[in-house]
């Protein structure tokens, strides 16, 4: 694999590991041992591919960018309360079966609760 692709991959991993905090472009290139020119080119490329979001930030009196992953990888917490995980019908459940996720009230209720949480994260009614 060419060095640039390798750096892109490492940069993406580093950005992913910073979660919601993101990482300053300058800090990242230092960690990856890349030049700022090379770093800027790669961050632009990652942005064009739709993988990262760049936000302008004043840091130490100079304008730079903070990089965020556009889509965070799914975490186990996102499905920890899914009813399927502890469902006694799981072995017999399937799309073509008589017990089916397409007809399951427990699953539908859980998905609706996710939508509700997404629309009202503070839990106020």
Q: Note the residues at the interface with ligand SF4 (CB under 6 A).
A: 83-84, 87, 89-90, 93, 99, 101, 104, 106-107
User: Which residue, 10 or 101, has its beta carbon nearer to ligand SF4?
Assistant: 101
Smallest distance, Å, CB 87 to ligand SF4? 3
Smallest distance, Å, CB 88 to ligand SF4? 8
- What are phi and psi for residue 56, nearest 5 degrees? -65, 140
d(CA 52, CA 73): 13
Q: What angle do CA 83, 86, 90 make, to 5 degrees?
A: 85
- Quick one: how far is CA 120 from the chain centroid? 20
Smallest distance, Å, CB 106 to ligand SF4? 4
In 3-state terms, what secondary structure has residue 114? Answer: helix
User: Which residue, 57 or 81, has its beta carbon nearer to ligand SF4?
Assistant: 81
In 3-state terms, what secondary structure has residue 113? Answer: helix
User: Which residue, 99 or 112, has its beta carbon nearer to ligand SF4?
Assistant: 99
């Amino acid at each position: 694999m060419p060095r640039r692709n390798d750096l892109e991959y490492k940069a993406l991993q580093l950005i992913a590991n910073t979660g919601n905090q993101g990482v300053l472009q300058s800090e990242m290139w230092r960690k990856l041992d890349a030049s700022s020119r090379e770093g800027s080119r790669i961050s632009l490329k990652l942005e064009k591919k739709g993988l990262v979001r760049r936000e302008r930030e004043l840091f130490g009196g100079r304008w730079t960018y903070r990089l965020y992953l556009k889509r965070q990888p799914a975490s186990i917490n996102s499905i920890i309360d899914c009813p399927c995980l502890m469902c006694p019908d799981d072995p017999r459940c399937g799309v073509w079966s008589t017990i089916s996720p397409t007809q399951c009230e427990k699953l539908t209720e859980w998905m609706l609760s996710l939508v509700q949480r997404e629309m009202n994260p503070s839990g106020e009614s």
